[in-house]
Amino acid sequence: MITQLFLTLACSTTISCLSPTGRAAIDIDGDSLYGLCTDYDRATDTSTCLGYVTGIENVMAHGDAVGGYKACPEKAVDERQLLSIVKDYLRDDGEQGVFPAPALVASALAQAFPCRH
């Protein structure tokens, strides 16, 4: 519960601060997140994407599941690698783009960083 609250606050703070409308977009889908992550003309969109992805990665790095997915990201993983993993996943799995972005990001990270226990 605390982890979910942290994720919600982290994502909504990042998104509401950077969103031109000031509206939190916690419930965005995969297609919308992919658009944010690939809009290289607008720094606020790519920053929002980065905040979204790293917020979910931080929760998962502490051993908590997101959307039913668990991941064990390496400590040395950097932001560019995280974004590349998520963008590739969202691009390659286009039919799932209508699903909630947190679960899609978590699924991408779980595939890239499976837990070995």
Q: What's the CATH code of the domain at 102? A: 1.10.890
The answer to whether 115 and 71 have CB atoms below 8 angstroms apart is: yes
Residue 86 lies in a domain: yes
Place of tokens 């699924």: 107
- Work out how many domains the chain is built from and give that number: 1
pLDDT, residue 26, reads: 58
Q: Write down the pLDDT at residue 102.
A: 93
Q: Is residue 74 part of a domain?
A: yes
The domain of 50 spans 2-112
Please check whether residue 117 lies inside any domain of the structure.
no
Question: pLDDT averaged over the chain?
Answer: 81
- Residue with the larger pLDDT of the pair 17 and 85: 85
Looking at residue 86, its pLDDT comes to: 95
- 58: in domain: yes
Question: Is 68 domain-assigned?
Answer: yes
Q: What are the pLDDT digits (tens) for 54-98?
A: 999 999 999 999 999 999 998 888 999 999 999 999 999 767 778
| Tokens, residue 59 | 């929760």
In a domain, 88, yes or no: yes
User: What is the spatial distance between Cα 112 and Cα 71, in angstroms, rounded to a whole number?
Assistant: 8
**Residue 61 forms part of a structural domain:** yes
**Which is more confident, 38 or 4?**
38
pTM: 0.76
Give CA–CA dist 115/90, Å, rounded: 21
**Do the domain assignments include residue 30?**
yes
Contacts 24+ apart (CB under 8 A), 22-28: 27/100, 28/100, 28/101
